[in-house]
Structure 1
Amino acid sequence: MGKITQPTFENRCIISCGMLHPEMIHLVETGFMKPRRILFTPPGLHALPDRLEEYLLKRLGQVRKSCPDHEIIVVYGKKCYVSTDEPLKRVDSILQANGSGIVRVEGDYGYDMLAGVEGRQRISAGREDKTLWFTPGWLKSWKTVYQNYFGWDDADANANFPGFYDKIIILDGLDLADEYMTQHAHEILELFDWTGLEVEFQNITLERLKGLLLDALYAAIEDPARNDSGLNIPEQ
């Protein structure tokens, strides 16, 4: 019998939302995966759906120089694209219309790939819907999203945060809490002052993200023909 080899990311190209850049680069640097190529879209483009689609297609064109469609993994939540002009359009339909055999990592949003609903319910003591969930990428990019992309000012922040949310919880899989509290405390205070919400770091592992990436890798190998639509969409 021939030797059974374990699948690896070495012959895969990955396109990821920039909000998960810290976690994805950490997984590369620590040896969990060594993809043939990994590219990121700018963080926060869910606020600008037309630009999200533009950058996603741009990155697809770039990685196709290194990988065919069936070797491309997209790390984007299925609900990250929402447009009032095209209410039925989603990340999956964009990929389906522009490729064949591309695999999307399962998850509704980027933070959902770090902690699932049950995990978030546990972390928030049953207040998952009243928690504003951040990742380290969000902590770096919140001003770009809210102030630049959405165009919110202090009045908008006051109208949209207090009363709707109890607190901000940062899902920290990179042990950044001590660094921020000692070296970047002013950034946390600025976020608190602008949102009016307490900011809390929650230590997590990256095991869920690793598992979802492996699921996407195995999905591409086990079902190379994909489904009838040409896009392998993980079951929810």
Structure 2
Amino acid sequence: MANPDFSNTAIVACGTLSPELKHLQAEGFLNAGKIVYTTPGLHQNCPELERQLTEAVKRVEDDYDKVIVIYGGKYCYVNAADPTRTMAKIIDELGPKVVRVQATHCMDMVASEAERDELAGGEKVWWMTPGWVKYRHKVFEGWDKGIANENFPRHTGGARVLDGVGLCEQYLNEQPEEILDYSDWMGIPLMGVPVTLDRFKKLLTDALEQ
């Protein structure tokens, strides 16, 4: 079966998902006309997330038939100052050309909640994607060891990276000290979980056809 045609589509994505998108480009699945990345870790800075997202969409919307936004709907944008302002509202305001992949956050784009529950085997797990490893210092900008101790140790199943691009294996082979240091900072074991990108491909295809 032929791959879907994204050539008349622009993608605006959180930089945290750049490893997956670049992998899909390299394997020939994703021929997007243009991909624009926002800074990884902006879920911690809603005003800046909205600013970069809006600016990126405005930059590409005139040149393409559709713009697909790759951000989660439930967890990537939580505006404490204005709880009624949601990611769905922002996307709606950006106009009819703009659609968003239907997932709650980047982990959900790679593995569904049911799949994550099965992989967790009843344990409480801190899920991540490869971008959380590659862009660790941006994703956890402002976190010190004290904040880490408040958040991570209660995850008895450790930290697990839903790795569809082989990044964890690469790190373990080439720079294992990075993984060991990350695990030590979190205070829990960190391991890669090999997955396919089939779910991500389907979400992208569904958004294209929306």
Task: Give SS of 2:63's match.
Answer: coil
Which has the greater radius of gyration?
1
The structure 1 segments of at least 4 consecutive aligned residues displaced by more than 4 Å after TM superposition are none
1:51 corresponds in structure 2 to 48
2:149 corresponds in structure 1 to 158
Task: Give SS of 1:170's match.
Answer: strand
Q: Deviations over 1:149-184 (max 9, x none)?
A: xx2221221122112553100011012333211211
**CA apart distance, 1:142:** 2.2
Is the contact between residue 9 and residue 68 of structure 2 (CA under 8 Å) also seen in structure 1? Answer: yes
TM-score by length of 2: 0.93
1:229 corresponds in structure 2 to none
The within-5 A match list for 1:182-221 is 182-219=173-210
1:75 corresponds in structure 2 to 70
Q: Deviations over 1:42-97 (max 9, x none)?
A: 111001111000000110111124225xx111111102100110112221111212
**Alignment pair present for 1:112 and 2:108:** yes
**Alignment pair present for 1:125 and 2:110:** no
Give the unaligned 5+ runs of structure 2. none
Task: Give SS of 2:24's match.
Answer: helix
Task: Give SS of 1:16's match.
Answer: strand
**CA apart distance, 1:98:** 2.7
Partners in 1 of 2:4 and 2:139 — Cα distance?
Answer: 37
Partners in 2 of 1:6 and 1:77 — Cα distance?
Answer: 24
Partners in 2 of 1:77 and 1:178 — Cα distance?
Answer: 26
1:230 corresponds in structure 2 to none
Task: Tell me the matched-pair count.
Answer: 208
Between stretches 133-142 and 158-167, larger displacement belongs to 158-167
Q: Give the root-mean-square deviation of aligned CA atoms.
A: 1.7
**CA apart distance, 1:215:** 0.7
Task: Give SS of 1:186's match.
Answer: helix
Partners in 1 of 2:156 and 2:80 — Cα distance?
Answer: 24
1:24 corresponds in structure 2 to 21
Partners in 1 of 2:157 and 2:89 — Cα distance?
Answer: 34
Q: Counterpart of 2:178 in structure 1: which amino acid?
A: E
Partners in 1 of 2:178 and 2:186 — Cα distance?
Answer: 12
Q: Counterpart of 1:104 in structure 2: which amino acid?
A: R
Identical positions, percent: 38
Is the contact between residue 7 and residue 218 of structure 1 (CA under 8 Å) also seen in structure 2? Answer: no
Give the unaligned 5+ runs of structure 1. 220-236
Partners in 2 of 1:9 and 1:172 — Cα distance?
Answer: 24
